[in-house]
Structure 1
Amino acid sequence: MSCPLISNLDTVRVTRLDSCGRPVCGDDNAFTFDCLASIAANPNVDEGDDISYKAANGRQCGFRKGCPTFNGYDLEINFFSVSPEFIEITTGNPVVFGFDGAPIGYDDCSVQCKTGFALEFWAEALGEDVCDESAAGGAYLYYLLPWVTNGMLGDLEIGAEAVTLQLTGATRAGGGWGVGPYDVMPTDAAGTAGPMLTPVGANCHRRYFLTSVPPPEATCEYSPVAGDLCLAS
């Protein structure tokens, strides 16, 4: 593998999941945009309990370091675009529609712990060897968090400065993302785009890899999800 450098965050896509972490098919189950400030994935780890064996005279006879347990990642997504579709997919709260049926806003109601979404994002890769013949259009670092739950909007302050909204959530392992419903990586030497070649493991929370397949276009509206791996809606 080459040693690419991570450049700017480029594009983000969220996909609706059912309560078992499987993609849901339908015309309004994904959303792609690029008005994003940052994404932070902070490890949530239980450090475990250390065991110390001490004699009556105070001398330590033995010591066992506690084994940490990885619980997942706590997410912080900071974004600028107040898109009802994005908020509806990630938090499960309802959209407010206008007279023509177009989304114009959203309601804040409650934390929908049974809903979930997958989060994909692309960052440009820099380096001398990322633009070979099979990647003539450049290369990207592709990140996947296949199952995020407990999506919740954070504090909102509107004033003279640019407004940034924050969404928090937490990853889960397992689910039914598999190889995913999208073409995100080359599947042969000719660079033919296709789904991932291996499914995400049952105990895994995150995957990333270098790809020459460009991110989808940011449309800032609902987009369809289809394929053998998604749950028919």
Structure 2
Amino acid sequence: MHGARAVNGARREAVGKPLHGGAACRLACSAVLLAAFAANARADEHDDDGGRRDEDDGRVSSTKSYFYANGGGGVSYVGLTTLNSSDLALGNAGGAGPAVDLGLGLRLVILTLGPRARYTVLPNFDMWQLNGEVALHIPVGRWDGFAGLHAGYSFVGNFSRSAFSDASSPTPSEDLRVRGWNAGLDLGLDYYLTRSFSIGGAGMGEVLFVRRPALATTNDPQFGVAGGGVGLAASLALRAGLHL
């Protein structure tokens, strides 16, 4: 009986005493490990929730990107009368040359839409284009493929003498203008180096509908009447993009 009371008294005395340094250290380490384990479990749960992306993993995040701006350069082929010519009076109405483009717009999950400007330098003339474009995107990891449509207005100018049917005839005045509409298809693939920056390539093909008004200030009868043409154009370009 006396022995049992002695043991119980020793236990109560041990409980009432403060922990020694070694015991306190072990208890603190256990608490830290438990907290770290809980934090790691919460992080894993966050990564698995709804396919969210880490800020620095560089993958496409369609729910985080609402604005894009991209541009680049490449090579283009333009033929103003590839399909049809009706008194356009341009004997050399086609060729290949360097091209640059710049576009921007909005991204709505997997859909992008906005304007794009393109400038092409050809052997016998230059062409400027201002288009609207819409594209459907398929993001897979860091890759983002897309297919889309574009349409807009084309301006042709800076004609050289060799562009005309008869190189010996006087070069028409600066009033000569060739204008028209275009519509085409776009395909491309981007790679996201970070969430906000991508590099990639794109290609396009389009139909051109151009028209040249009659000139009243020319001595050449072929430019005294209006003309037109239906042509084709295609381009390949490398691009860099910013996504916000």
TM over 0.5: no
* Between structures 1 and 2, the one with greater helix share: 2
* Between structures 1 and 2, the one with greater strand share: 2
Larger relative contact order (CA 8 Å, sep ≥ 6): 1
Larger Rg: 2
For normalisation by structure 2, the TM-score amounts to 0.25
For normalisation by structure 1, the TM-score amounts to 0.26
